[in-house]
C-alpha cells in the first residue's frame, strides 16, 4: 500500500465513485451504459436490460427502532425499482441478499419478506435469487434490480438540452420531515421510555419515510403520452443534489423557481413544528423517490394537466450556473447537500 | 410481529432460504429459473441472462488482518463469476457495492479496486454499476454478476440422472488448509506481536485461500468437447454439502470414492501439520470454487484425458442415499458440514 493517506471524506461519495471508476475500460459489446447513471444498460438482442443495485446498512440507512421490518422489506425493493423507472425502463426481476444476526427470529425475517413480496406483487417483479448470511454487526440488505427497455429508449442524466423544462413528480421533502419526527420521538423515548410517541396527525410524512413508492405511474403516463424525457433520474438525495447531477452530466445550468417546487400541505404544517423551511426540506431532504426529468418545451401541452407533475424551471447554458429564484425574487446558487456521513 | 420465536439456527442457511422463498409466485414470463440454483436465468430474446449475487461481510467471510485488500477485491469478483460458470454460462458484467468506514483511506480503496479490475480484465467482464456508502461497522461487499448462455444451455442442479458420473475440477480442501494456517498465525500474532509469521512453503494453500480462480477453463473445455453436464454447481461449501444439494434437487443418491477425490500434494503435506485428514478437508472445507458436475457415462471418453477433471463417483437411486466408500473399503453416509455460524 502506498504511504499516502487521502481521507475518503475529502472526495465525497460522488467524487469517490468517479475516482475509483474513471479508468474503466469496457470489454463487452453488450455493455451499452456503465457506471454513472441510475442504472447500467446491457444489450440482449432486441431488448435492453437495465440493472441497478443498492446496499442498505442498519443505523446508516435505516433505524430498526422505528422501522417496522415489513416496511423495511418493502422499501428495500422500492428504492431499487425507482432507479429502474428512472431509466424509463420496466423492472422485471430482483435479487435480495441479507446479512442477519441471531437477534432476529425466523418470524422477524418472515415479516421482512412479507414486505419484499408485497413490493414484488405491486410492481410485478420476480424475486429470483440472493444470498443469506450471518452478520455479526447489524442488518445488511443488498438488492439488485433488473429491468427491460425497448432498444435505445432508456433515458440518461447526461442528455438534457438548453431550454428544456425541468419537471418533478409528486411532492418533495416529506420523507425528510418524517425522519425529523422519528428522530425526535426516538430521542424522547431513549430519555424517558415511559412517554408514548406523539405522531398524531403526521401519518403523511411518516408514510413517505417508511413506505415510499416508485413512480411507475409517471413512467406509464409518459409512455402513454408519447413523451420521452430528454434526461431523467430519481430523487433520493434531495432536489438540489439531483439537479446538479443533471447539470453536470449534461454540461448545462438551470433556473428553478422556489414557488413551483411541489410540497404537500401536510408536510408544510408538520415542518413548522421544527421551525424549518419547507423549501429547504424539498431541496436538501432525501428519500422522496420522486422522478426528476427534463422535456423538450414542445411537449409541455402533453403533461400540463397531470397534477402529479410540476414544471419547476428550465435548463440554461453551463456558464449561467445552477440557480434558484426565491419567492421574494432573489437569485441564489443551488448547492448540493449530499452525502456527508464520512 | 407474531409472539412465536423460532431461532434461525434451527433451520440452517438452506432451510431458511427454502422457508422464506417457498411461496414465490413468478409473474414474468421472462423468468426462466428463479431461486434455488447457483444463479437465476432470465430470457432476453435469443439469449438467456444469468444473474447471481453474493454478500461478503468483514469478520464473517474475510479477516482483514490477513487478507490484502487487492486480493479481497479480486476474490469478491471471482466467487460470483464462479456461480455464473457453474450455470455453464459466460459472465459479462458485474456490479460492486461497498459499505466502508473512514478507517479506510482512498489509497486503501484503490488497492481493493485494483483487485476488482484485475479480475474483470482476466475474465473479460465489465464493472457497470454499484453503490458506495458508509458503514459504521466493518467492510461490507456486495457483488452481482450477470452472464449469458445460449437458450436452454444453462445447467441446473436438479437434472442429474441415475448412473451419471460425478466429476470435480482441480483439487479440493486446500483453501481450508490455507485458512487454518492464517488463523494459527493470527492467534500467535495476537499473543506475541513480535513473532514473525511462519508461512514458508505454504504458498499453495494460502494462494488457494486468498486468490481463488473461477473455472472458466473447465466450462470452455466442456464446450469444446461438446459435453453438456447433466447437472453442475460450484464448490463453495465443501464437496459433501454440494453433492447433497445435487442429490436432493435431482432426487437421487450417490456413491463417491475417497481415493478418487483430488487433493494437492502441497495440501497433503500442509494438513498433516494440523493432524487432520486431507479427505475431511476436501469434503467439509469450503472456498475451493471448483466445479462439481455430472455427465452421462457415454461422455466419459471425452474427458478422461483432462488432468483437471476427476471422476469421483456416480449417481444412484434416491433410496440408496448418499454414500462414500473409504480407502479401507468401508461405506459411510455423506453428511453436510454447512453453515453453522448462527
Helix/strand/coil (H/E/C) assignment for every residue in A37-75: CCCEEEEECCEEEEEEEEEEEECCCECCCCCCHHHHHHH
* H helix or E strand, kind and range, residue B334: none
Please identify, among A102, A119, A149, the residue that sits at the C-terminal boundary of a domain: A149
Full residue range of the structural domain in which residue B139 is found: 8-149
> Same structural domain for residues A124 and A230?
no
- Closest C-alpha to B214, from B65, B87, B69: B87
The closest CB to that of A55, out of B39, B97, B106, belongs to B97
B82 CB neighbours in chain A (<8 A) are none
Helices (H), chain B: 12-21, 69-85, 106-123, 174-191, 203-210, 216-224, 239-250, 265-272, 278-284, 300-303
Residues in contact with A216: Cβ distance below 8 Å, sequence separation at least 6, in sequence order = A81, A85, A123
User: pLDDT confidence of A24, banded at 50, 70, 90?
Assistant: confident
Q: How far is CA A287 from the centre of its chain?
A: 6
A63 CB neighbours in chain B (<8 A) are none
Give a yes or no: residue B236 inside a domain. yes
Q: For residue range B209-230, what is the model confidence (pLDDT) as tens digits?
A: 999 999 999 999 999 999 999 9
Contact A121 B27 (CB under 8 A): yes
DSSP lists the bridge partners of residue B141 as B56, B98
> Same structural domain for residues B41 and B88?
yes
Contact B53 A131 (CB under 8 A): yes
> Same structural domain for residues A252 and A306?
yes
> Same structural domain for residues B80 and B107?
yes
Rounded Cα distance between B155 and B29, Å, is 19
Rounded Cα distance between A85 and A169, Å, is 12
- In this prediction, residue B129 carries a pLDDT of 86
Give a yes or no: residue A295 inside a domain. yes
Contact A142 B19 (CB under 8 A): no
Has residue A338 got a pLDDT over 80?
no
Give a yes or no: residue B340 inside a domain. no
Rounded Cα distance between B149 and B151, Å, is 6
Helices (H), chain A: 12-21, 69-85, 106-123, 174-191, 203-210, 216-224, 239-250, 265-272, 278-284, 300-303
Contact A124 B28 (CB under 8 A): yes
A21 CB neighbours in chain B (<8 A) are 127
CB atoms within 10 A of CB A196: 8
CB atoms within 10 A of CB A283: 24
What would the mean pLDDT of A76-83 be, rounded to a whole number? Answer: 96
Residues in contact with B141: Cβ distance below 8 Å, sequence separation at least 6, in sequence order = B55, B56, B57, B72, B76, B96, B97, B98, B99
For residue A291 the three cell numbers come to 422522478
What would the mean pLDDT of B145-154 be, rounded to a whole number? Answer: 87
Q: CATH number of the domain that A319 lies in?
A: 3.90.650.10
Rounded Cα distance between B305 and A55, Å, is 45
- In this prediction, residue B55 carries a pLDDT of 93
Has residue B342 got a pLDDT over 90?
no
Give a yes or no: residue A28 inside a domain. no
Q: For residue range A81-131, what is the model confidence (pLDDT) as tens digits?
A: 999 999 999 999 899 999 998 788 888 888 999 999 999 999 999 888 888
> Same structural domain for residues B193 and B118?
no
B98 CB neighbours in chain A (<8 A) are 55
- In this prediction, residue B45 carries a pLDDT of 66
Give a yes or no: residue B342 inside a domain. no
For residue A267 the three cell numbers come to 408536510
CB atoms within 10 A of CB B14: 18
Please identify, among B90, B121, B149, the residue that sits at the C-terminal boundary of a domain: B149
- Alpha-carbon torsion, ordered A149, A152, A156, A161, to 10 deg: -140
> Same structural domain for residues B145 and B195?
no
- Under a CB-based contact definition with an 8 Å cutoff, are residues A155 and A293 in contact? yes
- In this prediction, residue B337 carries a pLDDT of 67
> Same structural domain for residues A104 and A175?
no
The closest CB to that of A126, out of B34, B69, B135, belongs to B34
Q: Nearest residue on chain B to A122, judged by CA atoms?
A: B27
Residue A276 Rama label (left phi>0; alpha psi -120 to 50; beta): beta
> Same structural domain for residues A221 and A113?
no
DSSP B146-213: EEEE-TT----SS---TTPEEEEES--SHHHHHHHHHHHHHHHHHH-TTSPP--TT-HHHHHHHHS--
Q: How far is A257 from chain B (nearest CA, A)?
A: 31
For chain B, percent of residues with pLDDT exceeding 70: 96
- In this prediction, residue A7 carries a pLDDT of 81
Q: How far is CA A138 from the centre of its chain?
A: 23
DSSP lists the bridge partners of residue A149 as A48
- Closest C-alpha to A187, from A200, A175, A174, A197: A197
For testing the chain A interface, which of B9, B36, B44, B141 should be mutated: the one with the most A CBs within 10 Å?
Answer: B44
Give a yes or no: residue A224 inside a domain. yes
Q: How far is CA B12 from the centre of its chain?
A: 18
* Strand pairing class (B140-149; B290-295): unpaired
Q: Nearest residue on chain B to A38, judged by CA atoms?
A: B129
Give a yes or no: residue A26 inside a domain. no
Q: For residue range A242-263, what is the model confidence (pLDDT) as tens digits?
A: 999 999 999 999 999 999 999 9
- In this prediction, residue A103 carries a pLDDT of 83
Q: How far is B273 from chain A (nearest CA, A)?
A: 30
Please identify, among A149, A178, A206, the residue that sits at the C-terminal boundary of a domain: A149
Q: Nearest residue on chain A to B120, judged by CA atoms?
A: A27
> Same structural domain for residues B117 and B184?
no
- Alpha-carbon torsion, ordered A191, A197, A203, A209, to 10 deg: 30
The closest CB to that of A95, out of B53, B104, B341, belongs to B53
Q: How far is B37 from chain A (nearest CA, A)?
A: 8
- In this prediction, residue A1 carries a pLDDT of 42
The closest CB to that of A146, out of B42, B46, B69, belongs to B42
B19 CB neighbours in chain A (<8 A) are 106, 110
Q: Nearest residue on chain A to B40, judged by CA atoms?
A: A128
- In this prediction, residue A269 carries a pLDDT of 93
Q: How far is B43 from chain A (nearest CA, A)?
A: 9
Has residue B338 got a pLDDT over 60?
no
- Under a CB-based contact definition with an 8 Å cutoff, are residues A204 and A254 in contact? no
Q: For residue range B251-292, what is the model confidence (pLDDT) as tens digits?
A: 999 999 999 999 999 999 999 989 899 999 999 999 999 999
User: pLDDT confidence of B241, banded at 50, 70, 90?
Assistant: very high
> Same structural domain for residues B144 and B28?
yes
Question: What is the Cβ-side half-sphere exposure of residue B269, based on CA atoms within 13 angstroms?
Answer: 9
- Under a CB-based contact definition with an 8 Å cutoff, are residues A116 and B323 in contact? no
- Please state the length of chain A: 342
The closest CB to that of B126, out of A26, A47, A49, belongs to A26
As for how many domains chain B has, the answer is 2
Give a yes or no: residue A191 inside a domain. yes
- In this prediction, residue B224 carries a pLDDT of 96
Q: CATH number of the domain that A120 lies in?
A: 3.30.1330.10
User: pLDDT confidence of A195, banded at 50, 70, 90?
Assistant: confident
B113 CB neighbours in chain A (<8 A) are 20
Contact B107 A1 (CB under 8 A): yes
> Same structural domain for residues B93 and B176?
no
For residue B312 the three cell numbers come to 469421483
What does DSSP assign to residue B7?
A: B
Report chain A's mean pLDDT, rounded to a whole number.
Answer: 89
- Under a CB-based contact definition with an 8 Å cutoff, are residues A278 and A207 in contact? no
A92 CB neighbours in chain B (<8 A) are 28, 30-31, 42
Residues in contact with A194: Cβ distance below 8 Å, sequence separation at least 6, in sequence order = none
> Same structural domain for residues A209 and A321?
yes
B1 CB neighbours in chain A (<8 A) are 69, 107-108, 111
Amino acid at each position: 500500500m502506498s504511504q499516502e493517506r487521502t481521507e475518503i471524506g475529502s472526495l465525497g461519495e460522488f467524487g469517490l465513485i468517479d475516482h475509483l471508476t474513471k479508468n474503466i475500460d469496457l470489454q463487452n459489446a453488450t455493455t451499452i451504459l456503465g457506471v454513472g447513471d441510475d442504472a447500467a444498460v446491457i444489450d440482449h438482442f432486441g431488448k435492453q436490460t437495465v440493472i441497478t443495485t443498492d446496499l442498505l446498512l442498519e443505523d446508516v440507512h435505516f433505524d430498526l427502532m422505528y422501522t417496522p421490518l415489513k416496511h423495511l422489506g418493502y422499501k428495500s425493493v422500492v428504492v431499487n425499482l425507482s432507479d429502474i423507472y428512472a431509466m424509463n425502463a420496466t423492472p422485471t426481476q430482483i435479487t435480495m441478499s441479507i446479512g442477519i444476526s441471531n437477534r432476529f427470529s425466523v418470524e422477524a425475517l418472515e415479516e421482512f419478506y412479507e414486505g419484499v413480496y408485497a413490493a414484488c406483487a405491486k410492481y410485478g417483479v420476480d424475486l429470483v435469487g440472493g444470498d443469506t448470511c450471518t452478520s455479526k454487526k447489524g442488518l445488511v440488505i443488498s438488492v439488485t434490480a433488473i429491468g427491460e427497455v425497448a432498444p435505445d429508449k432508456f433515458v440518461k442524466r447526461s442528455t438534457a438540452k438548453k431550454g428544456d423544462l425541468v419537471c418533478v413528480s409528486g411532492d418533495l421533502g416529506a420523507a425528510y420531515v418524517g425522519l425529523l419526527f422519528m428522530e425526535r420521538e426516538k430521542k424522547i423515548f431513549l430519555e424517558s421510555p415511559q412517554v408514548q410517541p406523539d405522531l398524531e396527525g403526521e401519518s403523511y410524512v411518516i408514510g413517505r419515510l417508511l413506505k415510499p413508492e416508485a413512480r411507475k405511474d409517471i413512467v406509464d403516463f409518459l409512455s402513454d403520452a408519447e413523451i420521452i424525457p430528454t434526461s431523467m433520474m430519481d430523487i433520493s438525495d434531495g432536489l438540489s443534489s439531483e439537479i446538479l447531477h443533471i447539470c453536470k452530466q449534461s454540461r448545462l445550468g438551470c433556473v428553478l423557481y422556489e414557488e413551483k417546487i411541489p410540497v404537500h400541505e401536510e408536510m408544510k404544517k408538520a415542518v413548522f413544528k421544527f421551525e424549518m423551511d419547507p423549501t429547504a426540506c424539498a431541496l436538501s431532504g432525501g428519500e422522496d423517490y420522486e422522478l426528476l426529468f427534463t422535456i423538450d418545451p414542445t411537449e409541455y401541452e402533453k403533461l400540463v394537466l397531470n397534477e402529479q407533475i410540476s414544471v419547476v424551471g428550465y435548463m440554461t447554458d453551463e456558464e449561467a450556473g445552477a440557480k434558484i429564484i426565491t419567492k421574494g425574487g432573489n437569485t441564489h446558487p443551488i448547492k448540493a447537500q449530499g452525502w456527508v456521513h464520512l
